[in-house]
Amino acid sequence: MADTPYSSTELLACVAARLLEDRKSVFVGTGLPMIAAMLAQRTHAPGLLIIFEAGGIGPQIPVLPISVGDSRTFHRAVAASSMHDVMSISQAGYLDYGFLGAAQIDPHGNINTTVIGEHDHPTVRLPGSGGANDVGSFCHRTVIIMRQDRRKFAAQLDFLTTPGHLDGPGARERAGLPANTGPHRVITQLGVYGFDDATMTMRLLAVHPGVTVEEVRANSSFPIPAAEPLAVSAAPTVEEQRILREIDPTGLLIKR
């Protein structure tokens, strides 16, 4: 049974948390990925190994940290390590899941976080890769969380920062990346997307409550086929909402 009302942030956190499995590892960035990982760890995945870019490995986080370098990301951790070690863990193939954001994403799950417009004379210059290319290249499964509109769901990227499935089946392997890796799910304010095994292009797996397929397609500049049957995301439960407010007691992301 769901509490009402719930915010879009609560819904996205719950949808993302439910993807994470017990006794797996996850590379976590600032914000919503932190909340999702903490929620998963406090519900169905107590053995989830959370890894932060700044070096916290396996913490039991008391409340939501402000950033990946916050001292709370090392609370009761297995190791207080370094960014170098975390990226080495990724390159060695020990990261099951990685969370990424994006300014643009294309049908194959390739990501742009570098520029909007021409590279040398951009309309907007973005933060760049950071660790995103490492995560997108070497994590077994990446989960992209982003806002969706026609500009962000782009038929062609202005710049390829982080590889998704590149130009289709087998492309990652031909580029020298590990087999059976890459984008797994895309979560937006409208729904949840996966990738077709035959074409490695995005398809709609679930809409959020109250969202239509027409609305999803109107907010994409490339065609998005829908799975049959099409699922509807489960709303946050009363217990999930209670835990979310426990995780974020000051309302940093989960607004009161």
> DSSP secondary-structure letter at 196?
-
| Closest residue by Cα to residue 105 from 74, 140, 146, 138 | 146
Distance between CA atoms of residues 118 and 158, nearest Å: 7
> Which fold is adopted by the domain 8-247?
Glutaconate Coenzyme A-transferase (3.40.1080)
- What local confidence, expressed as pLDDT, does residue 196 receive? 97
Cβ–Cβ under 8 Å, residues 189 and 147: yes
Neighbours of 67 (CB within 10 A): 14
Residue 9, judged by CB atoms within 10 A of its CB (0-12, 13-18, 19+), counts as middle
Average pLDDT over residues 149-162: 98
**CB environment 29-42: b (16+ within 10 A), e (fewer):** bbbbbbbbbbbbbb
Cβ–Cβ under 8 Å, residues 226 and 204: yes
Kindly tell me if the per-residue pLDDT of 256 is higher than 80.
Answer: no
Q: pLDDT by residue (tens digit) across 70-116?
A: 999 999 999 999 999 999 999 999 999 999 999 999 999 999 999 99
Q: pLDDT by residue (tens digit) across 174-218?
A: 999 999 999 999 999 999 999 999 999 999 999 999 999 999 999
Distance between CA atoms of residues 156 and 218, nearest Å: 17
Q: Output helix, strand, coil percentages for the chain, rounded to the nearest 5.
A: 25, 25, 50
- What local confidence, expressed as pLDDT, does residue 4 receive? 65
Q: What are the two backbone dihedrals, phi and then psi, of residue 86, each rounded to the nearest 5 degrees? A: -65, -45
Kindly tell me if the per-residue pLDDT of 121 is higher than 90.
Answer: yes
Cβ–Cβ under 8 Å, residues 208 and 219: no
Q: pLDDT by residue (tens digit) across 23-51?
A: 999 999 889 999 999 999 999 999 999 99
Q: Provide CB contacts within 8 A for 232, sequence distance 6+.
A: 206, 207, 208, 209
pLDDT, the chain, mean: 95
Kindly tell me if the per-residue pLDDT of 1 is higher than 50.
Answer: no
Q: Give me the active site residues, please.
A: 53
Give pTM, 2 decimals.
0.94
All structural domains of the chain with their residue ranges: 8-247
pLDDT band of 130, cuts 50, 70, 90: confident
Omega into 236 within 30° of 0, i.e. cis?
A: no
Residue-wise DSSP of 3-42: -SS--HHHHHHHHHHHHPPTT-EEEE-TTHHHHHHHHHHH
